[in-house]
Structure 1
């Protein structure tokens, strides 16, 4: 072939590569459930089908300590919590290699028959990392060095450690860190993120701490914080902590899933037979119940809203696709995959089962379960307690999927390029 002909033949290939590169978009995962705390990644350029044995494994870090904390990913840094030798720690790892960069002690290890150690995901913001241990100690540390700037216990704010440990992931809102100590002094608090001083405490709310994490929204030009407590869903003024609205919630045993917000609607779900509820909030903070049913009884694997439908696992029902506006079930799938957690990225649901550690790639479609590959996580942790399970939710960031089983953190390349994504 002549050089001129070769050049002409290569033109379509070059164009394809340029278009593919232009379609790539990487995104950090700096906190619980991703950039917007909704379990959705805006990342593109990811595999739409997995090979028979799953996506390529990049590395396994084997000394993350025990616990259920998920990773926060910012650039080449990973932050997560784990307990080693009886002390809970904030860990920083190299995202390219899995090697540990530093650790900072949080406090004594939380102990429970279902698994010791911390539960929440760290939050990374403007060079600082905010993290809460299972005993309720909140710390702020330098993201590059691990040096602790301040610490605050939920007990000094009137809180009491819930049955399965403090599991909340801190929310950064403006200059404040928002967490839920629970208790008679006020269930929700705002803490100065620079020095750890208390800014306000929502004294109108006295419910004990459970396990959901706070969300933020805007209404009437005012910042609002939304939380699901054991007995009510609430919205409070982000500037003062004043109660703006509330709706009853019959929480049982453990209220865990994070609320989902879309426009003027707030969606709640929890397990132990409770179900799901959608409410609308008007400009005067009046609450209207759109539906209240048992279609989605999500225990702790979270629910994601993709376009007009919700996806998640419902206790004793299986995986469910629920229409957001009506609450009706589009479909239920009991046999395809066991109970587990879900995250969304680039047109696919990333699921992992709590018992076997089966990871599955599923197309979110109201027409039914459409699977595009699966594999079984291996090796599994030998440190997990008998009652413990794989409860850490999948994270997808910068072309990698991260899965955790206690002391083991796995990194898989799920990009179509088989390399680091190009940041747009």
Structure 2
């Protein structure tokens, strides 16, 4: 382990930091300046919206992969130690606004899924074929707002967005391409879907539960606003972070198969919108608002 930490700012600064040397900068580059990345093109009839870079870097082997969205490639991989570029993707799509890249395996091939500005893209990661396109599925959202990160379960991907799409879909991937299994008229604005024991969950204004196999709605409930995210715990419960710092504990369909059941709620923990997604690690729950204020809660057994 190198102890290196990789960050990508909205302004395009990709930087490697040495956490063992008090955050000393190891290497860095600005994606906008290095690759002359243009402003994202207009999508649909709505005016252009561009939030800068939003996707977190992904470590794979000896490389760090980011969605650049340049005419040289949507995805680019750089050496973890030096920052030297190693490969670019076959796809040249502009970058989307999702929070992360989703690793997956397609018929034995290590791959990576990402929502670009126009498509669900699945690209190869195996040696000698890095960046080659396995499948694309058209998915363009007005305002260039493909925001919710794709969620992977084996060879299936669940994607969702609002505006003109206003739907959630399950797409299955093979080496032959992409196939839509189901599509339902329920949307997630920013919350990535969570797949757990045969169900799909997400939170956008309310908490949704769908059947993973069929897409059939199971239940919906609660009030959370647009700025929500959720995670599932090991004891089959859901923690939701939304509105201006509402922290909610609810049952999954494993424990409550017929209706939404809310167990507890703490309101207005923050003073601003809870856009950043909630994180649970080693019994600690990290909650942050749009201004960068953060609180940590210890979860007792």
Q: TM-score range by the shorter chain?
A: 0.7 to 0.9
Q: Is the 8 A contact 2:37 2:70 kept in 1?
A: yes
- Distance, in Å, in 2 between the alignment partners of 1:179 and 1:280 is 23
1:252 aligns with 2:138: no
Unaligned 5+ residue runs, structure 1?
1-124, 417-424
- Distance, in Å, in 2 between the alignment partners of 1:161 and 1:345 is 39
- Distance, in Å, in 2 between the alignment partners of 1:232 and 1:191 is 23
C-alpha displacement of 1:319: 2.1
Q: Give the TM-score, by structure 2 length.
A: 0.86
1:209–1:286 Cα change, 3 Å: closer
Q: What is the root-mean-square deviation in Å for CA atoms of aligned residues?
A: 1.9
Report the counterpart of residue 349 of structure 1 in structure 2.
Answer: 238
- Distance, in Å, in 2 between the alignment partners of 1:217 and 1:397 is 22
C-alpha displacement of 1:152: 1.9
Instruction: Count the aligned residue pairs.
Output: 278
Report the counterpart of residue 4 of structure 2 in structure 1.
Answer: 128
Q: Residues 191-206 of structure 1: matches in 2 within 5 Å?
A: 191-202=78-89, 204-206=90-92
SS in 1 for 2:122: strand
Higher strand fraction: Structure 1 or Structure 2? 2
Report the counterpart of residue 31 of structure 2 in structure 1.
Answer: 154
1:211 aligns with 2:134: no
Report the counterpart of residue 262 of structure 2 in structure 1.
Answer: 371
1:140 aligns with 2:5: no
Deviations 1:215-271 (A, max 9, x none): 112233321111111211111111421111111113222111111111221111122
Q: Is the 8 A contact 2:159 2:193 kept in 1?
A: no
Q: Give the TM-score, by structure 1 length.
A: 0.62
Unaligned 5+ residue runs, structure 2?
41-49
Q: Is the 8 A contact 2:105 2:155 kept in 1?
A: no
* Residue of 151, 158, 167 corresponding to 2:54: 167
- Distance, in Å, in 2 between the alignment partners of 1:337 and 1:261 is 25
Deviations 1:173-199 (A, max 9, x none): 111111111021211111111110111
* Pair member with larger Rg: 1
Report the counterpart of residue 278 of structure 1 in structure 2.
Answer: 170
1:393 aligns with 2:277: yes
- Distance, in Å, in 1 between the alignment partners of 2:136 and 2:264 is 42
- Distance, in Å, in 2 between the alignment partners of 1:281 and 1:164 is 29
1:290 aligns with 2:176: no
- Distance, in Å, in 2 between the alignment partners of 1:278 and 1:186 is 26
Report the counterpart of residue 197 of structure 2 in structure 1.
Answer: 307
1:323 aligns with 2:211: yes
- Distance, in Å, in 2 between the alignment partners of 1:368 and 1:176 is 45
Report the counterpart of residue 298 of structure 2 in structure 1.
Answer: 413
- Distance, in Å, in 1 between the alignment partners of 2:123 and 2:232 is 28
Report the counterpart of residue 60 of structure 1 in structure 2.
Answer: none
Structure with higher RCO (Cα < 8 A, 6+ apart) = 1
Q: Is the 8 A contact 2:115 2:121 kept in 1?
A: yes
- Distance, in Å, in 2 between the alignment partners of 1:126 and 1:257 is 31
* Residue of 177, 192, 195 corresponding to 2:64: 177
Q: Is the 8 A contact 1:265 1:278 kept in 2?
A: yes
